[in-house]
Structure 1
Amino acid sequence: MKAYVITVGNEILKGRTINTNAAHIGRVLTYAGYDVIRMVVVPDDIDEIVWAFRDGISRADLVVSTGGLGPTFDDKTVEGLAKALNLELELNQEAYSMVKGKYDRLGVELTRERVKMAYMPRGARPLPNPVGTAPGVYLEYSGKRIIALPGVPAEMEAILDEVLPQIRVPGRYYYEESVTIRGIMESTFAPIVSELMRANAGSVYIKSHPRGIEISKPTLEIEVSASGSSEDEVKARVKEVIRRIMEEARRINNECC
């Protein structure tokens, strides 16, 4: 199953805000059994948002967006989603009750801007927001699942946690493990990584992350990951490759020292 992540917001594109949301969503979806195939960032612009949703739906089984669900003029994600799917944007009564309840408890007037957060594409289901005000949006369309989440990290994480059991890929397991080796340059270890990848015929993925300075103080974090239908088998594959990596690292260190 493939997943596609969209982040909406000018603040991301101009570097004012670091895109931690996409990283969190990508990691959660990976452990939920998805192959995250693309992450895109688009501005608070209807046409760009429409493009992103259409592109995501054409490529993936699950599309998750973050940002643009609030009460201000530039919160356009829901409108863009409705337009992308040619669905009417309408006041969702369940979402309206959620939003109204939040402001009623505060004794605050329910303005047009606040009611805006209850509008959703026809057929969508609101996802309760236990942290903030704007509900998330859940929609199934042509066999695809679409989830729109707020941009505030705490709100995004809380809603995603709640909806995760509904979208988890059944019978699919992901596992990763990392090991740090010192005194070996990445360029020296690269042939070993390539050989281990060939030997495992795509059943594991090995990635080296330099953490030091290649020439003077080389340090490598080697990440090994795998997915499969058996949790025990996936872990065993990763651990066996980690064992081989450590074995090769000791050999290289012994030869050069």
Structure 2
Amino acid sequence: MKKDHKENPINAAKQFVKKNHPSCDAALLAGSVIRGEATATSDLDIVVFDHQLRSSYRESFIDFGWNIEVFVHNLTSYKEYFSSDCERARPSMPRMVAEGVVLKDNGIIERVKAEAEVLLDRGPKEWPTQIIDTKRYVITDLLDDFIGCHDRAEAIFTAGAIAELISEFVLRTNKQWSGSSKWIIRSLRHYDCEFANYFIEAFEEFYKNDNKQKIIQLIDEVLLPYGGRLFEGFSSGKS
């Protein structure tokens, strides 16, 4: 097979499982190819369940014309990943399992998918007031740096840090799953498309025109229901 020729993703995934995990109990194909969001550089995300394994692992391949990421679990190890992903409010493994297309199943997938869907529907833990105040303080501190910054390069990286923090704040205070990288905007769009567009416009105005005002306005609007910016009076770790 030519390296640049890509098999149909489901066919490629089935062949990969048959070749590399012939005795597994079940396997799923997840990721962008399943959601209809694939690009020229998308890979195949395959989740494999095998009761014979002692521990889970992750491995990368290039085969059948695709970059392939495989996440291999026994019939209990995936639960730890479900739990840790939900604890950090970035449910990568539950989402892969819930959305995944079945490649092979010896009778376990329905149960595992149901577990994933329950966790996703439940949403992340609610932030207590102490965490909200800490996040307000960190965002305020970064915003002050951003407002006072006269070095364009420093302002660009500060804006990037603000974008991740303020998106997390919006999502977590509204009991939504958060994300990083491309999942920041995907999570915002899932929550509120209108707000996501407002968010994009604010940062584009800075990156394109060096205008900070829309980012400042965005942050103030997001923080206002929780008391606004926080600096004076903030304390952490004091007994």
- TM-score normalised by the shorter chain: which range applies? under 0.3
Q: TM-score normalised to the size of structure 1?
A: 0.26
Query: Computing the radius of gyration over CA atoms, which structure comes out larger, 1 or 2?
Result: 1
| Structure showing the higher helix proportion among its residues | 2
| Structure showing the higher strand proportion among its residues | 1
Q: TM-score normalised to the size of structure 2?
A: 0.28
